[in-house]
Structure 1
Amino acid sequence: MEEEERRAVGELIASGIETLRERIAEMEDAARPVSPDNAIGRLSRVDAMSSRQISKSTLFALKSKLSRLEYLSEKINEPDFGMCARCGRQIPVKRLMAIPETTMCVQCAAG
């Protein structure tokens, strides 16, 4: 991988980390439990609990992606950065730019 490509992927990863941290902070508010003292109707409480569960699932996915991006940001200057974890071939830069947290080439990810 060329230095300019590595820098572009690194900037994308850094930007993704910043965005995810902001989204996680927002989602943590939405994932808080619904207080039983909150005077809302029974159906509204069910809606609120359902919405909370969706927020918790989304929060888990965001935290997982953040963890992968943080790991890759530490590895970006290593010689094997951008190599497929399964076959060892170079992952195309276009794939890394589209899905920076990927660790496999298209062929290995599909199989």
Structure 2
Amino acid sequence: MVEHERLFKQVLPVLNSKLEEIKLNGYEGIAIEDLWNFCLQKKWRKKNLAEIRIHEVVSTIFSLRASEIVSHLQIQQFQSTNWFSELNQDELKELLNPAKHNNSDTENN
């Protein structure tokens, strides 16, 4: 379910138009929900959406640049990725305490 669904439905044609423009510029893989969430999280995070006027919403959507949306999506992806999920406990300990493991390696030689 989309946050602020009533407003989302009102501006859906605008979001579709902006998404088409973005795709014409060679940016694939962006969904309407990505545009909407970007606006909610970055453009309107300090605003009360119950009080925002429809023309402000439309203006904001039309002023979006593909590069800022892509950057936002990349940052979100980096923040949500668990870089160490494939490591076992010993490998994690070695990463966190490399000096201990390096000393034991030199002692063995």
TM range, normalised to the smaller chain? Answer: 0.3 to 0.5
Q: Which has the larger radius of gyration?
A: 2
Structure 2 length-normalised TM:
0.33
Greater relative contact order, per chain length (Cα 8 Å cut-off, separation 6+): 1
TM-score, normalised by the number of residues in structure 1 = 0.33
